[in-house]
Amino acid sequence: MKKTSPLLLLAILCGTTGAQTVSTEQGFEDVNILPGWKVVNNSNPIGDTSWFQGNRRLMEAQNGFVSSFIAANYRNTTAEDDNVAKTICNYLIMPNLGSLDEVSFYTKTRKASNNFSIFPDRLYVVYSPTGEIDTGNCSDGFGSFTETLEVINPDLTKEVYPDGYPFQWQQYTLSINGNGRIAFVYYVEDAGYYGDNSMYVGIDTVEWTFSSAASDTKIDEKVLRNKSDLISIDTHR
């Protein structure tokens, strides 16, 4: 049921001046190159997937090519260790973009391969006011990401949106008004193959709007190429 594919990221080098407000986006058409983005999987214990290229067999992208989205799944933590449920804590950190007014994105989950069973998912969107990217283990906090901007399905309910995680692409828009850094965190307790929670989440069309005070901001062109962070495997739950 679950998916895999080498994962990776397509980056957009962008600039803005103090004279205008500019919107830019990341559509994840090819998650092989993602300048400035960073993946950190702090799951306990770490599994054989992290954030990876979307799989059109499991869901279709919100926009663009059918697989042009980024995803994470229950295999972010291992299925080993004698039927014990685990904790997923997997960060997808945006580039240092400078002064931002707001960020928006689309996300959705899916049911199990029988199209009936629901293993609830949860996504945090957190903010580091200092721009530092020290990550926590989720259970005890998110490191330098000290502000929580959004929590999707905080109680890990099986209910449909808006009480639970959306099963159709849903857009969220968050006010930033600062120079810090943003992370999407797939954080699910009682997770993994033997857990009651965690399935598969997709993120697509991340858009950001620079503040009018920003000037000539450019993102870091460093390319994320650590394949061990970005590999995913299609399996069935």
pLDDT digits (tens, 9 = 90+) for 166-208: 999 999 999 998 999 999 999 999 999 999 999 999 999 999 9
* Residue pair 211/6 in contact by the 8 Å Cβ criterion: no
* Residue pair 189/120 in contact by the 8 Å Cβ criterion: no
Residue 125, classed as helix, strand or coil, is strand
Residue type, 139: S
What is the structure's pLDDT at 108?
A: 98
CA–CA distance, 12 with 9 (Å, rounded to integer): 10
CA–CA distance, 14 with 16 (Å, rounded to integer): 7
What is the structure's pLDDT at 73?
A: 98
User: pTM higher than 0.85, yes or no?
Assistant: no
**Separation in Å, CA 167 to CA 2, 43, 112, 132:** 16, 24, 12, 33
For residue 213, what pLDDT band results from cuts at 50, 70 and 90?
low
Domain 5-232 top-level CATH class? mainly beta
pLDDT digits (tens, 9 = 90+) for 9-49: 333 333 333 434 444 999 999 998 889 999 999 999 999 99
What is the structure's pLDDT at 67?
A: 97
Give 108's DSSP letter: E
What is the structure's pLDDT at 10?
A: 32
Quick check: 221 pLDDT over 70?
no
**Separation in Å, CA 93 to CA 67, 90, 132:** 20, 10, 11
pLDDT digits (tens, 9 = 90+) for 63-78: 999 999 999 999 999 9
pLDDT digits (tens, 9 = 90+) for 91-103: 999 999 999 999 9
Q: What is the mean pLDDT of residues 118-147?
A: 97
pLDDT digits (tens, 9 = 90+) for 135-163: 999 999 999 999 999 999 999 999 999 99
Give 229's DSSP letter: H
What is the structure's pLDDT at 214?
A: 54
**Separation in Å, CA 55 to CA 6, 7, 47, 174, 234:** 11, 10, 18, 27, 9
Quick check: 216 pLDDT over 50?
no
What is the structure's pLDDT at 235?
A: 46
The CA angle 53-85-172, to the nearest 5 degrees, is 45
CA–CA distance, 231 with 147 (Å, rounded to integer): 29
Report residue 95 as tokens: 């580039």
Q: Among 75, 58, 109, which residue's Cα sits nearest to residue 194?
A: 75
Report residue 233 as tokens: 């495997």
47 forms bridges with which residues in the sheet? Answer: none
Reported in sequence order, the residue ranges of the chain that DSSP labels E, i.e. its strands, are 5-6, 23-26, 38-41, 52-53, 70-73, 86-93, 100-109, 123-128, 147-152, 170-178, 181-191, 200-210, 231-232
Q: What is the mean pLDDT of residues 221-232?
A: 41
For residue 212, what pLDDT band results from cuts at 50, 70 and 90?
confident
- Residue of 112 and 7 predicted with greater confidence: 112
